[in-house]
Amino acid sequence: MSNPKTEVLTPHNSQLIFIDQQPQMAFGVQSIDRQALKNNTVGLAKAAKIFNVPTIITTVETESFSGHTYPELLAVFPDAPLLERTSMNSWDDQKVRDALKKNGRNKIIVSGLWTEVCNTTFALSAMHDAGYEIYMVADASGGTSQAAHDYSMQRMIQAGVVPVTWQQVLLEWQRDWKNRDTYDAVMELVKEHSGAYGMGVDYAYTMVHKAPERVQHGPTLAPVAAPI
């Protein structure tokens, strides 16, 4: 019997859920730099938008504790409903279950806070109760300590969760650079969110291929030696 987890992620076999990407939850994160966390989360969202991957955003106790979802994330999906919950486990909310089922994809990619609570309970419950495959985006999730994140990732992996990174997901979806309908958008996303990789792409485009710089700027003034 073939293992479905050996099947590469594609835009057609996967869906994405963001769990509690809210400021008060992010304040408690100690396992990853929080600006990097937001960058990776928004980069993952933009990747899903490029490839038209069904995406769910669920929130917990927005008004009483957690605050509003990052505006940069909401800007990617301005029309998406926000599935508000009281439960720490997203699986315990029927709206979430219904949205996942409606999307009709068995591979669920997860980005959420905190790893050791909301991510772990959702992953275990979705696998146990409905047989979903879970792909946990480790660098678009965070825990209240490095140990909390690491041990909860280990627990999930032992249960069958597949650990991934946001850029890994992006490039699995792209798969082949001959796929020109998404190539330009992926390159723009890489330049904006992929750190050293993005800087390397900018360098190659402008210095090797002599493409114009991607932003306009003032004139470059030639060196003028000052008297010594």
| Residue 206 in this model has a pLDDT that exceeds 80 | yes
Together in a domain, 112 and 196: no
Which domain range does residue 185 map to? 176-211
Q: Residue range 53-80: average pLDDT? A: 97
Do 47 and 113 lie in one domain? The reply is yes
* Centroid of chain to Cα 158: 22
What pLDDT sits at residue 155? Answer: 98
Quick one: average pLDDT of 57-80? 97
User: Is the per-residue pLDDT at 2 higher than 90?
Assistant: no
Q: How far is CA 208 from CA 137, 193, 205, 211, 219, in A?
A: 33, 21, 6, 8, 22
Residue 216 falls within a domain, yes or no? no
110 and 193: one domain? no
Residue 104 lies in a domain: yes
On the question of pLDDT at 26 being above 80, the answer is yes
Clarify whether 191 is annotated catalytic.
Answer: no
Q: What is the pTM of this model?
A: 0.94
One domain, residues 26 and 120: yes
pLDDT at residue 68 tops 70: yes
Please give the average per-residue pLDDT across 148-154, as a whole number: 98
The stretch 27-51 carries a mean pLDDT of: 98
With CA atoms as reference, report the closest residue to 56 among 95, 106, 9, 10: 95
Percent of the chain's residues with pLDDT above 70? 100
**151 and 195 both lie in a single domain:** no
Q: Exposed/middle/buried for 153, CB within 10 Å: 0-12, 13-18, 19+?
A: buried
User: How far out from the chain centre does Cα 73 lie?
Assistant: 10
108 and 21 co-located in one domain: yes
What's the confidence (pLDDT) of residue 1?
64
Q: Which of 118, 136, 138, 169 is catalytic?
A: 118
